[in-house]
Structure 1
Amino acid sequence: MVVAMGMMAQPAFAQTQAAPKADAGEIIVTAQKRAENVQNVPLAVTVLGSGQLAAAGVRQFQDLGAVSPSLTIRPAEHPVNANVSLRGVGTFAFGIGVEPSVAVMVDEVPLAFQARAFTDLPDVERIEVLRGPQSTLYGKAASAGLINIITRNPTSELKVRANATLTADNEYGANFSVSGPISPTLGYVVSGAYSKWKGNVTNLFNGQKLNGRESGNMRAKLRWEPTSDASITLSLNYMNGNTNVGRPIVYQAAGALFRGGAGVTIATALPGVTAGADNQNVSINYTSRTKYQGGGGNIRGEFQLGDHSLVTITSYDKFRLDDYFDSDETAQSAAAYTNVQIGTFKSTLFTQEVRLLSDGSKPFRYTLGAYYANVDFERPFYRGPAFSLANWNATSKSSQIAAFVQSDWNFLPNATLTTGGRIQNESIGYTFHDIQNGSARFSGTAQDTAATYRASLRYEFTPRVNAFLTYSTGYKGQTYDLTTGFNSGRANAGPIKPETSRDIEFGVRSQLFDRKVTLNVTYFDTTYKNLQAQTIETIDNVQNFRLTNVGKLGTHGVEVDAGYRPSSNFNFNSSFALLDAKYLSFPAAQCFAGQTAAQGCFVGTPSSQNLTGTRAVQAPAFKTSITAEYTPQIKDGLRGLAQVNLQHQSSVYYAARDPQTFQKAYSIVNLNLGLRAEDKRWEVTGFVNNLFDKQYYPSLINNNGSWGGAMTTQAILPRDFRRYAGIRASLNF
């Protein structure tokens, strides 16, 4: 998708890998690990530029779903439990060893934890969202798709960028980027960002604002080109931040009693709080929060070997997140009702990738590569002292080695056949120390070898119109369900089997009317087998709920990306996704709290529901993002700026069939008005996000169990739950 048709791909300080020259209006991507015009890539790719992100009010990773309709990001009480899904497919599990379905990479380097991404976006050049299975080139963590964040590279002359944002509801932030040459062979870029927002939830217990965040990050790159055929880039990064959260009760049945306690009504347990759709108050006596820090780096080498290019990427990353949660979520001080959760997530990741690329200008071209990764996780966890007791420490290790190949063959003047394959071997291991239950200890190891492949036929009808047909397979690795309740039965059952998928896509890419119109259409049909999800499983004649292989999920639909740029003054971009994602086989799912037999809950020990044929969670049937920009000339050297962004999403369930987690359709409008220099050296913009003050919830939680079975629904509020205004200024010279 070319959502930033007027954005030129910025050249790096120098590129040893031969890349096509970008004409005006063309976007260069690396979705296939080779620099290519996005219109010629036989994949469903969304490309987001910095201007598009600003118009939609996107400043953090979790906001990306607003501008990529096939992407949905559901927040949680802390980032590790948040979920990222593409085309209705994501990983709804909390275990430390469970692979995500959507991989996140920064400059082609993977992140061990999706939570590592949930902060301010770094010094972004562009973001590529690859929809559908990407396992052949990107491995087992990309079974549903990939988000690749590309940061700016060193430049051949001094460049300075700076941005600042201030809002009327106490958010402020700034970022900068400075790049240029140190010598004829050495270039640099240094960037940093800081932001803080108090939040939009009030804790009546102490007057503290919640649902806020504070984050800072620094990045630096040094690029050395000893010869015209070689370059080495050293990249370093560091991040530090914190979040807090309050989950207001937006609906509660009359007479609800906290944990069924006599007289412990909402007025007693949460003094001053009134449940309702507009409620932005909580009353908790322990601040639910996280603090995190992490850092790492990578060394990228690019070497020209005759008509081939050799690329090597070595990376190391370390991340820690400490989480604290008021699990009773009340102001109660009585020992029988006071409960907290305290834990830590630690990850260490090392990767090494080597790939050889042939001359991209020849009729037959190929990419050969090898990849190695080693990742360690650790999770100590405590919950108590009053109820739902847990105290354990788990570790998870994974080591994988893979080889991949992809070739493009122009076997006819206008026809290209793309084929690729990947084979990988993975070893996993775990330890689980259950301190709560007799200090029981468990451990285990497993390994698996798997192959994935892809084939695509692309035909170019004209230089600006082409169509493709692609068949690909996906793979998500085996894992252990390392969460509360892990026991000898789960240990003896062994690892959860890998999840596999097959995907068929048909797409048309076109630029019409002297390239003033871009129209891209993709049809997709994907089936996932051995779907990894929470279900009922019988182990040692005991039925329990755990992450396991539940059956099948199917998702198919149409994605349309359209852009219209009649002149340099006007730019219109739109995209929408029609999605039908259903469980094709899910016979024994957990009933939601309060579910009756009439609602499909089969009474038993334990009770269950059959979700076969049910729409997948977090999978809206329709979603769209539309942006219009008008930049009229006011006088020589000065232009006005008017941007309107519309986001619409149809209804969605956050838990299958649960009416308490049903979010009805909603639309959000953002408005930007400002001035900019003709040469874009500076810009000042006033903005209003959620112009018409429409309320919606990106996450709803059924919490009946904490209130004696009485219907109680909590929400995590979005950044734009209420209309807010601000000013944004930027310098670029």
Structure 2
Amino acid sequence: MAAGGAQAQTNDAAATAAATGMAAAQSVAKADQENVEIIVTTTAQKRFENIQNVPLAVQVVTPAQLEAQGVRHFQDLGKVAPSLTIRPAEHPVNSNVSLRGVGTFAFGIGVESSVAVTVDGVPLAFQARAFTDLPDVAMIEVLRGPQSTLYGKAASAGLIKIMTTQPTNDFHVKANTVVTDDKEYGGNFSVTGPINEKLGYVFSASYSNWDGNVKNLFNGKQVNGRENASARGKLKWKATPDVTFTLSGNYINGNTTVGRPFIRMAPGALLRNVPGQTSNVTLPGVTIGETNQTISNNYDARTKYSGWGTMLRTDINIGKLNVLGLTSYDRFQLDDYLDVDDTSATVPQGSNIQVGRFKSRLFTQEIRLLSPGTDAFRYALGVYYANTGFKRPFKRGPVFSLADWYATTGSRQIAIFGQIDWEFVKNLTATVGGRAQNERVKYTFLDKNLAVPASWAGHASDNATTYRLGLQYQATPDVMLFGSYATGYKGQTYDLTTGFNSNRAAAGPIRPETSKDKELGIRTQFFGRRMTFNVTYFDTNYTDLQAQSIETLADGTSNFRLTNVGGLNTKGLEFETAARVTRDLTISGAATYLDATYTSFPVAQCYALQVLATGCFDGSPRFQNLTGTRAVQAPEWKGSASVEYAPALTEKLNGVLQGSWQYQSSVYYVSRDPQTFQGAFSIFNLSAGVRDHGRRWEANIFVNNLFDKQYYPSLVNSAGNFGNQVATQAILPRDFRRYAGIRFGVNY
């Protein structure tokens, strides 16, 4: 089902997936090709279930769908999930993930996103940890709307669940490699199988490298690229018939290069208003325009990161009950080196840089008790503990926007949760779920940029409850209707960024963000379950929305500050369909209609260059009223579709022809700011190749962005650096230009 071509399973394969979990689910591609019935499983309710029977807005994405849409990196997931929008930035920490138009725009440490990310059931403390390649994915689930009841305080808008390759009872080898005509290359492999009858293993590793699609004329280097290496290992020990332990470890190391081309600049714009510092002086050789792919930076803007983690999963069967324990520990570090002026000017203002580091650690412990999933009365109960810590040294200068500080923050969370599903009348099931939690947060902040350095420290505690109520009716074996009401919660935090002072310290933590969500949906299958068509209506209200606001200083520079900005309502419709027209032809698609509006935002910061005529009112500071305005990063329409035709060429060989389409309507990246407006666009991808009839190997030639359509996933208004004259920079996407390549994979 879902967006992208869902693979068909036999009924036996679906039953096996439910019984043995991910090990069977990742073997879906080898299902009997003579059967065209579409069955997809999900773990949205913390147990394996047929997605057509789950009363939630959830989408399942397989590795095959990622390949068809040209998705090899986390930040490109929005191409296959229409309700998901990911806005990249100069480094991953400043990137934003939003679902249904709701995300957290925040640069400070310890500020959680409204969209949580988990890997193999364990949450990531630092969302930047997710902005890497997707090398050993078994499947990805996108849960839309508040998921706080089962998944905690960082899922007030939704959740992205990444499941990786699991140990199997049989020996398997999977490997993929890709090479493109714009100098991207990479490969990954995984080996899984038994060591003996009680012990199984998985080992996977990957490496990728792409120089980037922007050229720095100052030194001749390609930038806006990335390099990533990772490894993951798992050991699964079946200690007794009813007790199984799975120990896993992972390591990641990588770097990115930064290049944000200027696409617009007023002819008379001067760097920091310094006489003579026009663009032809500060950006020698750069031709500014909508398709510009060059910069001139005299500092190597970049990031580098590394991290490791470990997890112990314990499965215990007690009669018909299952007890699951998840114990995890994770450490991550990201260093950032940025050219603040984004020029190669020889005056002092052209040598302004910032250097910083993010360090995170996370320990979690979760214990769940699950009843059999086939009973009329089903339940999932659990307890959860998490302890998180962050450190951030930061320095910027030496000429303007000076900063030199060191901050730490930490949190401790304890929660109990549960959900009961009761089929109290045949085919009619009621759902009741709840979560109660206590969280303590603390911080320190040392400002070394003052004449007399000053420091602050503080702590706070908060109790919160969330719940979910639902009703599900199985009208026929192939038609299910549901309705639900759920609440969401994202915890309080501190804004530990440049400009933190005694006033911010005295104000205490930023208030929690809460949400109330209503959903109605229908899940249907037709033609012997060879076609699915699902629709979900949602209406969600957010109160005390946590969002980034801009604080303009007397010298014209800006600081970014997190605050509670008021209220937001997001409502719309989500459509998903898939059809196995014949054994050889699969068509699928998904679309989201979204209306996300600020319901209360009377005092918002003006955007750069905004005047009274465009809604900026005088005051201290100047402000605009965004109440009734469409939320940022919330396109009205977003959709994707794909088609695969795989006819038999010989008894052992199939041809493969794949096409995909992605559409997004217009969007603002900063409210009402014309310099950050992205018009509607469509992207088409095409691939052709051959595969073994049993999918043991496959080779493809592909072209992404077939019609060479240029678009920007992020735009930055840099007028403050150029005397309040038009100066706009862009983050270019991986497929800013058409590119081609070869993919080859084996799966034995």
Instruction: Tell me if both proteins adopt one fold, taking TM over 0.5 as the criterion.
Output: yes
Q: Secondary structure at the match of 2:307?
A: strand
Q: Assess if the C-alpha contact under 8 Å between 1:13 and 1:153 holds in 2.
A: no
Q: Distance in 2 between matches of 1:685 and 1:120?
A: 20
Indicate which of 480, 490, 506 corresponds to 1:492: 506
Q: C-alpha displacement at 1:697, in angstroms?
A: 0.2
1:515-553, CA deviations, whole angstroms, 9 ceiling, x for partnerless residues?
Answer: 111001000000000111234899xxxx99732212100
Q: Map 1:311-460 to 2 at 5 A.
A: 311-437=324-450, 438-460=452-474
1:603, CA displacement in angstroms? Answer: 1.4
Tell me the secondary structure at the aligned position of residue 78 of structure 2: helix
Is contact 1:16–1:229 with CA below 8 Å preserved after alignment?
Answer: no
C-alpha contact (below 8 Å) 2:658/2:688 kept by paired residues: yes
Give the one of 303, 306, 311 matched to 1:290.
303
| Counterparts of 2:742 and 2:731, CA distance in 1 | 26
Where does 1:195-594 land on structure 2 (aligned, <5 Å)?
195-437=208-450, 438-535=452-549, 546-594=561-609
Matched, 1:162 2:175: yes
Describe the SS at the equivalent of 2:154.
helix
Q: Which amino acid aligns with 1:407?
A: I
Which residue of the other structure, out of 702, 715, 722, is the alignment partner of 2:737? 722
Give the 5 Å matches for 1:50-65: 50-65=63-78
Mapped to 1, the partners of 2:17 and 2:643 lie a distance apart of 29
Q: Aligned partners of 1:548 and 1:701: how far apart in 2?
A: 21
Q: Distance in 2 between matches of 1:114 and 1:53?
A: 20
Please say if residues 357 and 368 of structure 1, whose CA atoms lie closer than 8 Å, have aligned partners that are also in contact.
Answer: yes
Distance in structure 2 (CA, Å) of the matches to 1:110 and 1:116: 11
Distance (whole Å) between structure 2 residues aligned to residue 66 and residue 362 of structure 1: 37
Return the alpha-carbon distance in structure 2 between the equivalents of residues 602 and 694 of structure 1. Answer: 38
2:677 to 649, 653, 662: 662
Cα distance in structure 1, aligned partners of 2:197 and 2:492: 49
Instruction: Deviation per CA, 1:450-488: give whole Å up to 9, x if none.
Output: 000001100001111100001000000000000000000
Unaligned segments of structure 1, at least 5 residues: none
RMSD: 1.9
1:626 maps to 641
User: 8 Å contact 2:412–2:441 — kept in the other structure?
Assistant: yes
Between the aligned partners of 1:537 and 1:414, the Cα distance in structure 2 is 55
Overall identity of the aligned pairs, in % = 60
**Contact 2:22/2:166, CA 8 A, preserved across alignment:** no
Q: 1:16 to 1:639 in 2, by over 3 A?
A: closer
CA drift of 1:228 comes to 1.8
Relative distance call for 1:53 and 1:272 in structure 2 (3 A) is same
- Write the distance in 1 (CA, Å) between the matches of 2:266 and 2:347: 23
Per-residue CA shift, 1:617-637, capped at 9, x if unaligned? Answer: 000000000000000111111
The amino acid that maps onto 2:222 is K
Partner residue in 1 for 2:155: 142
Distance (whole Å) between structure 2 residues aligned to residue 110 and residue 244 of structure 1: 27
CA distances 1:358-399 after superposition (whole Å, capped 9, x unpaired) = 122211011110000000000000000010000000001000
Secondary structure of 1:507's partner?
strand
Q: Structure 2 stretches of 5 or more lacking a match?
A: 32-36, 553-557
Shift of the 173–131 alpha-carbon distance from structure 1 to 2, 3 Å rule, reads same
Asked if the contact 2:581–2:587 (Cα under 8 Å) also holds between the matched residues in 1, the reply is no
Secondary structure in 1 matching 2:93: helix
Match of 2:138 among 101, 125, 132: 125
CA displacement 1:69-119 (0-9 Å, x = unmatched):
000000000001000000000001111021110000100111111100101
CA distance 1:697–1:103, change in 2 (3 Å): same
One-letter amino acid of the structure 1 residue matched with residue 539 of structure 2: D
TM-score when normalising by structure 2: 0.95
- Say whether the 8 Å CA contact 2:499–2:559 is kept in structure 1: no
Distance in 1 separating the partners of 2:320 and 2:612: 68
In structure 2, relative to structure 1, the CA distance for the partners of 1:12 and 1:322 (3 Å cut) is: farther
* Letter matched to residue 225 of structure 1: K
1:690 matched to 2:709? The reply is no
Q: 1:639 to 1:201 in 2, by over 3 A?
A: same
Equivalence for 2:612: 597
The offset of 1:675, in angstroms, is 0.4
Q: Which moved more, 1:7-16 or 1:455-464?
A: 7-16
The alignment of Structure 1 onto Structure 2 pairs a total of residues equal to 729
3-state secondary structure, aligned to 2:306: strand
Partner Cα separation in structure 2 for residue 16 and residue 502 of structure 1: 32
Structure 1 contact 307–359 (Cα < 8 Å) conserved = yes
Of the structure 1 ranges 120-129 and 518-527, higher mean CA displacement relative to structure 2 is found in 120-129
The 5 A counterparts of 1:183-202 are 183-202=196-215
Q: What is the identity, as a one-letter code, of the residue corresponding to 1:688?
A: V
Contact preservation (8 Å) 2:604, 2:624: yes
Q: Which residue of 1 aligns with 2:34?
A: none
Corresponding residue to 2:166 among 141, 146, 153: 153
Taking the aligned partners of 1:495 and 1:616, their CA distance within structure 2 comes to 24
Cα deviation, residue 16, structure 1: 8.7
Q: Which moved more, 1:9-18 or 1:525-534?
A: 9-18
SS at 1:635 equivalent: coil
501 and 351 in structure 1: CA distance in 2 versus 1, 3 angstrom threshold:
same
Q: 1:384 to 1:427 in 2, by over 3 A?
A: same
- Residues 544, 606 of structure 1: 8 Å contact kept: no
Instruction: Give me the whole-angstrom Cα distance separating, in 2, the residues matched to 1:329 and 1:12.
Output: 52
Which residue among 716, 726, 736 is the counterpart of 1:701?
716
Aligned counterparts of 2:19 and 2:544: Cα–Cα separation in 1? 45
The one-letter code matched in structure 1 to 2:721 is: S
Q: Determine the C-alpha separation between the residues in 1 that align with 2:203 and 2:18.
A: 14
Whether the 8 Å contact between 1:70 and 1:87 is mirrored in structure 2 is: yes
2:231 partner letter: M
Q: Secondary structure at the match of 2:649?
A: strand
User: In the alignment, what sits opposite 1:73?
Assistant: 86
Cα offset, 1:254, TM superposition: 1.5
Q: In 1, Cα distance between the equivalents of 2:170 and 2:599?
A: 56
In the superposition, relative to structure 1, how do residues 570 and 404 fare at CA in structure 2: closer, same or farther (>3 Å)?
A: same
1:535 and 1:588 in contact (8 A); partners too: no
